[in-house]
Amino acid sequence: MMKTDGSSVSGRAVSLRHCLQISVMAVLVLLLAVPGWTEELTPKYMENEWNYVDGSMDITGGIPEDAVGRLARIRSAGKLTVATSPYYPPQEFIDDSRTGQERFAGADMELARLVAEHMGVELEIVPMEFTEVLSSVADGDYDLAISALSFTTSRAAVLEMSKGYFFNNEQASSGLLIRRENAGSIQTKEDLALRDIVAQSGSLQETMGAENITFYHKFKRLPSANDVYEAVMTGEADAGVVDIGIAQVYIDNHPDCGLYIVPDILFELQPQYTGDRIAAQKGELELFYFVNGVIDEVLSSGQYDAWFDYYASTALQQE
């Protein structure tokens, strides 16, 4: 019986591996030559590095017939359900002069109606407290949350979030609201050391206040922005952490409220965190490519800003 040494066996093994590598490369070359195959290597819908969706699709034909996931279910049901907290004018509030679904007014509610219109489905707006809005869509109870939602990394970790559709003109979007009578005694963050502060529970302003204000007497969370304004006006709190733009609209429409935004206490956001967003259950990327298509339209036309200005200057006077 002929014997073989180890070097011959090793040589044949190396040759076999080399042949297999060549074969795999040949198969890949053939696949790459097939039209459309390379597109399958890259996900059609994806998030960016901040975990929000900034891609969009052509929405002119409504929901595609080959839609998948939640978008397909919306098409099949013929209805889009939107969770909101309608206590944040001019973006969402209840107009008591109207009935049914039409009583939900504001710039965000107009955006919700436009999304449903482009989808070619009925819209159902579902009111609830702000703290329930995000959990309800995270659990999949409703299709979208449209409620002046700011982007945060913690929200993006558990929810799908759209690109921004409404941007404050100032880099610092959050600040401090006080009674005008205290303008002389509250000028810096250090002046808050013995003061009571309030913010809307679950809001970006709650987070910004907690991160930026080190010394205070008490920090209380309240259900809505209107509760924050009321607490400061009545003296229940000395200061409220608020969205500057929305608070200024409130002050302009209530000139006798006695409220004042402190000019030197401002909380700046990094650019990727700016802009109000729409949210829904994690993983519904195709749904957000459609939603972002609607957002592209209102941004290019200036329609959202027009809605905002209309409700800021007229609808709030109904209060």
152 and 184 share one domain: no
Is 30 within a domain? no
In Å, the largest CA–CA distance within the chain is 109
Is 151 within a domain? yes
80 and 119 share one domain: yes
Is 226 within a domain? yes
204 and 231 share one domain: yes
CATH number of the domain bearing residue 230: 3.40.190.10
The rounded percent of the chain whose pLDDT value lies above 70 is 84
| Cα–Cα distance for residue pair 199/222, rounded to 1 Å | 6
pLDDT digits (tens, 9 = 90+) for 283-303: 999 999 999 999 999 999 999
Which stretches within 82-129 are classed as H helix? 107-119
What are the beta bridge partners of residue 219? Answer: 197
83 and 158 share one domain: yes
How many domains does the chain contain in total?
2
Q: Is the pLDDT of residue 25 over 80?
A: no
**What pLDDT sits at residue 247?**
93
107 and 239 share one domain: no
Is 142 within a domain? yes
162 and 283 share one domain: yes
Is 37 within a domain? no
290 and 154 share one domain: yes
- DSSP secondary structure code for residue 65 in this structure: T
283 and 137 share one domain: yes
251 and 122 share one domain: no
Q: Is the pLDDT of residue 180 over 50?
A: yes
Is 25 within a domain? no
163 and 281 share one domain: yes
* Mean pLDDT of the residues in the chain: 88
91 and 235 share one domain: no
Q: How confident is the model at residue 40 (pLDDT cuts 50, 70, 90)?
A: low
Whether pTM exceeds 0.75: yes
Is 200 within a domain? yes
151 and 285 share one domain: yes
**What pLDDT sits at residue 268?**
85
CB 287 within 8 A of CB 69: yes
pLDDT digits (tens, 9 = 90+) for 69-86: 999 999 999 999 999 999
Mean pLDDT of 25-46: 60
pLDDT digits (tens, 9 = 90+) for 123-175: 999 999 998 999 999 999 999 999 999 998 889 999 999 999 998 765 568 99
**What pLDDT sits at residue 1?**
43
| Nearest residue to 37 (alpha-carbon basis) of 27, 46, 47, 45 | 27
Is 4 within a domain? no
- Domain termination site, one of 251, 269, 287: 269
| Cα–Cα distance for residue pair 105/307, rounded to 1 Å | 10
| Cα–Cα distance for residue pair 174/204, rounded to 1 Å | 8
Which stretches within 161-302 are classed as H helix? 204-212, 225-234, 244-253, 285-301
Range of 136's domain? 69-167+275-318
Q: Is the pLDDT of residue 15 over 70?
A: no
**What pLDDT sits at residue 18?**
56
pLDDT digits (tens, 9 = 90+) for 222-254: 999 999 999 999 999 999 999 998 999 899 989
